[in-house]
Amino acid sequence: MNGADALRRLPAVDALLGEAQARALCAQYGRNATLAALRDSLQQTRNELRAGDGPEPTRKSLLERAAAQLARRFLPGLRPVINASGVILHTNLGRAPLAPAAIQTMAEVGGRYSTLEYDLERGARGSRLKHCEDVLCELTGAEAALVVNNNAAALVLLLATLAQGREVIISRGQLIEIGGGFRVPEVMAGAGARLVEVGTTNRTRRSDYERAIGPDTALLMRAHASNFRMSGFTAEVPLDELAQLARERGLLLVDDLGSGALLDTEAFGLLHEPTVMESLAAGADLVAFSGDKLAGGPQAGIIVGRAEPLAALKRHPLARALRADKLCLAGLSATLDLWLRGQALTQIPIWRMIAREAQELRGVAEAWSQRLGGEVLAGESAVGGGSLPGATLPTWTLALDVAQPDALLAQLRAAQPPVIARIAGGRVLLDPRTVLPDEEEDLLASLEKALRS
């Protein structure tokens, strides 16, 4: 092929724009984006021809190159994946998948005007705060509740409202770091509170708190270790004892619970995770927790407890900056309704996953093996997501022996939808516990395609 002749035969951009495929691309992606992709396709082709690479291009190949570029350009960065890793609350994969009722409510509220801040009875402005407050109070027994955009925001609002410029006493063993490198001491400092550490890393006593309380003390705080576990020679003051001490000294007690358990996790063979109701019953004035961990809803920070301090939080200017939007409130309200109706184990995806019996999962893994090959192995699923640290559930996995397991994982990540698996013992493992029922066929089709290649 004569490169110079081929260069002269390349069509102009306007000529390509007149093709039916180009018109279809304009309708799908817009004229400007299509024009830019066609110009780029031509330039790449010119570079290849000058280098003597490849066959002489055709209009069809030029248009196909532009179409592929546009498809890559408009592929969303945030998109669904199939989680076959066995980590139930996978922080990097968005933590809790939402219940169908939550998705439906969010779609209905998001696609139309809504009663976000409108009182239908009075025909006047209402408050967004009421949409989740009543159900939270009924569910937990709290006097009042407030929803903000995540649990870190809840902690900032609590400290800025109740302890700005004053002291907050916390056990040294609870100065935790949460995901993304955010640390409790830094959050306190950012909210204007002064941290007072008591006890040692592994042991803190009531007397440590008593000695630290002074005229500038605003509140006592417990930060529940929801993303790690300390064992051995350890001691912490029970929450009810802290509540008694706070009452005796005229202080508030805040429990940063984090994971948001609303039922007894021991019933599923897991370690006990303190529930919101237990914290309130122990005497905590305010309890903060996440909406997207064990509560199984959208990302949110939830504060429940006594009405008086919560009223102060609602009035603080930061409450507006940190407030939840209408989609969060819609999804959370629908999720909380499922808890109130006793339908969490059947309707909230993470609790369906946690409640699945190992024998059922073995049957799923064996069905996968019949289609894909591989070996069915006993394994463990992790709860994950800053909840029940180190806790696992018995499961059965499909183990695939391939020459290059990393390459297979890369192919699965490039599938549509992407599939996330893991490697153990040099084999690719797929755990059915975290695969939603309507994802199985896509998962198996992607695996068949990847294994063939």
| Fold: same for 82-91+351-452 and 98-344 | no
Helix (H, G, I), strand (E, B) or coil at 44: helix
d(CA 286, CA 69): 52
d(CA 160, CA 156): 6
d(CA 359, CA 352): 15
What does the domain layout of the chain look like in residue ranges?
A: 3-73, 82-91+351-452, 98-344
Q: Kindly give the residue spans of alpha helices, DSSP state H, lying in 316-386.
A: 317-321, 326-340, 344-347, 349-355, 358-372
Q: Residue 17 has which token pair? A: 């724009």
Quickly name the fold that domain 98-344 has: Aspartate Aminotransferase; domain 2 (3.40.640)
Over its length of 453 residues, how does the chain's per-residue pLDDT go in tens digits?
456 778 888 999 999 999 999 999 999 999 999 999 999 999 999 998 888 877 788 999 999 999 999 999 999 889 999 999 999 999 899 999 999 999 999 999 999 999 999 999 999 999 999 999 999 999 999 999 999 999 999 999 999 999 999 999 999 887 776 666 667 778 888 888 899 999 887 888 999 999 999 999 999 999 887 555 666 677 888 999 999 999 999 999 999 998 889 999 999 999 889 999 999 999 999 999 999 999 999 999 999 999 999 999 999 999 999 999 999 999 999 999 999 999 999 999 999 999 999 999 999 999 999 999 999 999 999 998 666 777 899 999 999 999 999 999 999 999 999 999 999 999 999 999 999 999 999 999 999 999 988
C-alpha torsion sign, points 307, 309, 315, 316: negative
Buried b (16+ CB within 10 A) or exposed e, 103-122: eebbeebeeeebeeeeeeee
Buried b (16+ CB within 10 A) or exposed e, 262-300: bbebeebebeebbbbbbbbebbbbbbbbbbbbbbbbbbb
In sequence order, what are the residues at sequence separation of 6 or more whose Cβ sits closer than 8 angstroms to the Cβ of residue 242? 206, 209, 220, 222, 253, 283
Question: Are β-strands 252-258 and 286-290 bridged in parallel, bridged antiparallel, or unpaired?
Answer: parallel
End-to-end CA distance of the chain: 32
Q: Residue for token digits 């890393």?
A: 201
What does the DSSP 8-state code read for residue 102? H
Q: In the CATH scheme, what is the code of domain 82-91+351-452?
A: 3.90.1150.180
- Reading phi first (left if > 0) and then psi (alpha if -120 to 50, else beta), residue 305 is in left
In sequence order, what are the residues at sequence separation of 6 or more whose Cβ sits closer than 8 angstroms to the Cβ of residue 237? 171, 204, 205, 206, 209
Angstrom distances, CA of residue 16 to CA of 3, 13, 23, 33: 20, 5, 9, 14
For 356, how many CA atoms within 13 A lie in the half-sphere containing its CB? 29
The per-residue DSSP string of 47-96 comes to HHHHTT-SSPP-HHHHHHHHHHHHHHHTS-SS---EE-SSBSS-GGGTSS
d(CA 308, CA 414): 52
Question: Are β-strands 301-305 and 286-290 bridged in parallel, bridged antiparallel, or unpaired?
Answer: antiparallel
d(CA 70, CA 78): 17
Strand order in the sheet with 392-400: 375-382, 392-400, 427-430, 422-424
Which among 255, 284, 275 has a CA at the least distance from the CA of 155? 255
d(CA 394, CA 361): 9
Does the model's pTM come out above 0.85?
Answer: yes
Q: Residue for token digits 């959208």?
A: 298
Q: Which residues pair with 171 in a beta bridge?
A: 198
The per-residue DSSP string of 218-261 comes to EEEEEE---S----SS-B---HHHHHHHHHHTT-EEEEEEES-B
